[in-house]
Every structure is written in structure tokens, then in C-alpha cells.
């Protein structure tokens, strides 16, 4: 039995769900906060990978599955939400927000941190990586050194960075050369050479005190993706991210077989069923789910367990608010094959302002909270001040 099952046995049917709500804050990657209310006066908070209006629309079709139900029967509620089909197919980003809120609620009811309810902790702090556009000028040594020094001097002690090569457009690549997210674009051999030299300059400036990830946006065809992997290999990145269009095809397997660097994808995939073909076909070196898109804590735990059968590590995509960061912290603490997560900590001030408890990052690692639930207490006044225009406050 899981820790949740053991602890919740004495609490069965004591706390029932009375409402589900959502609202969107400014500058939080288009995502929204979700609240699950109960008849015990305890609320759970989650984050959905959907806007406020979209999440509320989908919540209106989830209410009949949730209202009146035992708040601690998380797996049953998750299964009911995910399996909804006609006439309104389940919106997994909204389900993700509800699931995270249910785990937060369970921790508060049982007076335990979420990670101890999931499986117990493998670690008390989780490694982070931060996004950067790279140097202002990738072909100016002083510019590269200044950028590298700023990254190294950050008080959070970042050890890993992620950056694409958008800044090379207009500086080695033609202005507007490509558009992120538009599938199956190509690059020429001469353009690959520019990219290779740019990343080599970044590596020289960073040295080997700092690791980095090469960022793509699911925009390249197979020859270009393979060429990119070969071009950046000399600068020794951790991995190449999202180099092909989102869905599985044998092109992903071909890329992994030809690539001299690790290949990763997954931030736009949902549920174990969309990760399974990548794993079965040995098409990735790591997977990259996002808790607020892929199925919440319950769904991503299932994905991580599936990946472990194939000896595949898990890194997480995360561009959300404090809520997603704390949910990811508990996920990372409780997953054996977890390696690192993305974060906007230090780039999004609201992450550290929206709760009474301050975010703790030491030597590039996020300290996992020990408080019940996800471990934070939101500040209503700050949330109200940062609502998107026209958004309700938990209505």
C-alpha cells in the first residue's frame, strides 16, 4: 500500500469536494491556478496548463465527477477525469491542475508534505536549470565572457543553462530565418557551421563549470535535426531538446541513432500513452514531461514509472508559477529516475512574492518544502494585484 492509502484509511469520507475554481495571473506562461474546495474548509491549490477561461470551461464539465466525492480518492478521481470522452473529451492540462490541487489537499488533510505521500523522498533538493538567450553577440569574445560571468555570479548558483540560437538570426543567420514551432523547416550546411561556431564560443566562455542544453522548438526536419546534433557535439551540451515535430514517428528513432549527443522531448505530450511509443522504440535518451500539461502529479508519476522500465531518466519542463515549481519539487523528490527541472525562478519575481514562504535555491538546487501539502501559503492580496485583466478572483 502507498503512504497515502495507509494514512487516508482512517480519514475515509471525512472530507468531500464542494467546488472547483480557476483563475489566471499575469505573466505566468498563459497557465492558471486551480482551487479544489471542501466541506472541511480546507482548499487544495494546483496549476493547469490552460488559460483561466479555458480551465473554467473544462471544469464545468468535470464538476459532476468531483463534487461530493471523497477528496482523498485521488487515483479514482484522476481515472474518471482522464477517461472522459464524449461529448467533451478530457482536457488534460485542466485535469492536471485539479490533480495537483488534490495532492496539495491530501497533504493538508493528513499533515504531510506531498512528496512523502507519493513515495517518500529520494532527495531533499532538486537540481534546476534556467533559460537564457545566450550572449548578446555570439561572435564577440568579450560579449560571451560578460554573459558567462553574469550567469556564474547569479546568487542562485546556477549549474545548468538552456538556450537556443535565435540570437544568431541577424548575426550569422539571416534575420527571420526560421520560426519556432513551425514544423519541418531546414537549415543549410553553411548555416550549421555558424551555429556550431556560436555554441563553441559559448562553451569556451562558460568553461566546464557550467552545463548547457541546446533548445529547439519542434521545428526541424530529420536531416536538419541530425545536422544540428552533429554541429553542437563539439561544444558538449547535455542534450538537444525538441529537435523534431512533437508526435512520435520513426524519425525520432533515426535521430537518436545518428546523434552524438543525448536527445530529449516531451513537454507537449500528455499521459503515459503519448510517451510510450518513444520509449518502446528507444527513440529518446531522456523524457521531458510538464506536470501541468501531462497529467499532474498522478499522471507524471505513471509516466516516470513507465520510463524507469526502459532505464530512461526524467527531466521536467516547467515555465509556471510558484505552484508548479513546488509541485515539481515534490515530484522530483519522489521519483528515483528524476535528474533536473526547468524553472523561471529569478526571472519571474511573482514566483517568490505570491506566498508567505520564500523559495529556497542553494547551489542551483531547489529545497523541497517540509510543510503540509505542496508547502506554501498564498497571499490573497498579491494574487488580486496580479490577476489578468478581466479575470475573476476564484469565481
Which residue range(s) make up the domain with 360? Answer: 117-371
The per-residue pLDDT for 11 is 77
Residues 51-94: tens digit of each pLDDT: 999 999 999 999 999 999 999 999 999 999 999 887 788 999 99
The grid cell for 115 is 512528496
pLDDT value at 154 more than 80: yes
Residues 169-203: tens digit of each pLDDT: 999 999 999 998 899 999 999 999 999 999 999 99
Tell me: do 35 and 108 sit in the same domain: yes
Q: What is the CATH number of the domain that holds 292?
A: 3.20.20.120
Please answer whether residues 261 and 291 qualify as being in contact, where contact means their C-beta atoms are separated by less than 8 angstroms: no
CA distance 122 to 124: 7
Please work out, in degrees rounded to the nearest 5, the angle formed at the alpha carbon of residue 335 by the alpha carbons of 329 and 338.
Answer: 80
pLDDT value at 6 more than 90: no
CA distance 244 to 249: 9
- What is the average pLDDT across 127-138? 97
Residues 212-252: tens digit of each pLDDT: 999 999 999 999 999 999 999 999 999 999 999 999 999 99
The grid cell for 254 is 533515426
Considering the entire predicted model, what is its pTM?
0.96
Helix 296-309 and helix 322-334: axis angle, to 10°?
40
Tell me: do 238 and 329 sit in the same domain: yes
89 against 162, higher pLDDT: 162
CA distance 210 to 347: 19
In a domain, residue 66? The reply is: yes
- What is the average pLDDT across 369-382? 98
DSSP 185-251: B---HHHHHHHHHHHHHHHHHHTTSSEEEEE--S-B-HHHHHHHHHHHGGG--SEEES-S-SS--HH
- What is the average pLDDT across 127-152? 97
In a domain, residue 247? The reply is: yes
CA distance 144 to 33: 38
The per-residue pLDDT for 336 is 97
The per-residue pLDDT for 188 is 97
In a domain, residue 389? The reply is: no
Q: What is the CATH number of the domain that holds 106?
A: 3.30.390.10
Burial code of 287-308, b = ≥16 C-beta within 10 A, e = fewer? bbbbbbbbbbbbbbbbbbebbe
Amino acid at each position: 500500500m502507498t503512504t497515502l492509502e495507509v494514512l487516508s484509511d482512517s480519514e475515509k469520507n471525512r472530507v468531500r469536494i464542494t467546488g472547483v475554481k480557476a483563475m489566471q495571473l499575469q505573466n505566468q506562461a498563459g497557465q492558471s491556478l486551480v482551487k479544489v474546495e471542501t466541506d472541511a474548509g480546507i482548499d487544495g491549490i494546483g496549476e493547469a496548463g490552460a488559460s483561466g477561461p479555458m480551465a473554467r470551461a473544462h471544469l464545468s464539465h468535470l464538476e459532476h465527477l468531483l463534487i461530493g466525492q471523497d477528496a482523498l480518492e485521488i487515483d479514482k478521481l484522476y481515472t474518471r477525469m482522464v477517461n472522459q470522452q464524449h461529448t467533451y473529451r478530457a482536457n488534460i492540462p485542466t485535469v492536471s491542475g485539479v490533480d495537483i490541487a488534490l495532492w496539495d489537499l491530501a497533504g493538508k488533510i493528513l499533515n504531510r508534505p506531498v512528496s512523502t505521500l507519493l513515495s517518500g523522498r529520494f532527495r531533499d533538493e532538486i537540481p534546476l536549470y534556467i533559460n537564457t538567450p545566450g550572449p548578446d553577440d555570439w561572435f564577440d569574445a568579450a560579449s560571451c565572457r560578460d554573459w558567462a560571468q553574469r550567469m556564474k555570479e547569479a546568487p542562485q548558483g546556477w549549474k545548468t543553462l538552456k538556450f537556443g540560437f535565435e540570437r544568431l538570426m541577424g548575426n550569422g543567420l539571416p534575420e527571420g530565418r526560421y520560426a519556432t514551432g513551425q514544423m519541418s523547416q531546414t537549415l543549410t550546411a553553411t548555416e550549421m557551421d555558424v551555429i556550431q561556431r556560436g555554441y563553441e564560443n559559448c562553451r569556451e566562455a562558460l568553461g566546464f563549470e557550467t552545463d548547457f542544453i541546446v533548445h529547439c522548438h519542434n521545428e526541424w526536419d530529420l536531416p536538419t535535426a541530425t545536422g544540428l546534433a552533429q554541429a553542437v557535439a563539439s561544444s558538449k551540451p547535455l542534450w538537444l531538446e525538441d529537435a523534431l515535430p512533437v508526435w512520435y514517428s520513426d524519425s525520432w528513432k533515426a535521430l537518436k541513432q545518428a546523434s552524438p549527443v543525448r536527445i530529449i522531448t516531451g513537454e507537449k505530450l500528455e499521459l503515459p500513452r503519448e510517451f510510450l511509443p518513444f520509449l518502446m522504440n528507444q527513440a529518446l535518451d531522456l523524457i521531458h514531461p510538464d506536470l501541468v500539461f501531462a497529467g499532474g502529479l498522478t499522471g507524471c508519476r505513471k509516466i516516470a514509472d513507465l520510463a524507469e522500465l526502459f532505464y530512461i531518466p526524467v527531466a521536467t519542463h516547467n515555465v509556471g508559477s510558484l505552484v508548479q515549481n513546488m509541485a515539481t519539487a515534490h515530484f522530483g523528490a519522489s521519483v528515483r529516475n528524476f535528474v533536473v527541472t526547468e524553472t523561471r525562478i529569478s526571472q519571474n519575481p511573482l514566483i517568490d512574492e505570491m506566498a508567505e514562504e520564500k523559495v529556497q535555491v542553494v547551489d542551483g538546487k531547489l529545497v523541497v518544502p517540509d510543510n503540509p501539502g505542496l508547502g506554501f501559503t498564498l497571499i490573497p492580496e498579491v494574487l488580486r494585484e496580479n490577476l489578468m485583466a478581466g479575470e475573476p478572483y476564484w469565481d
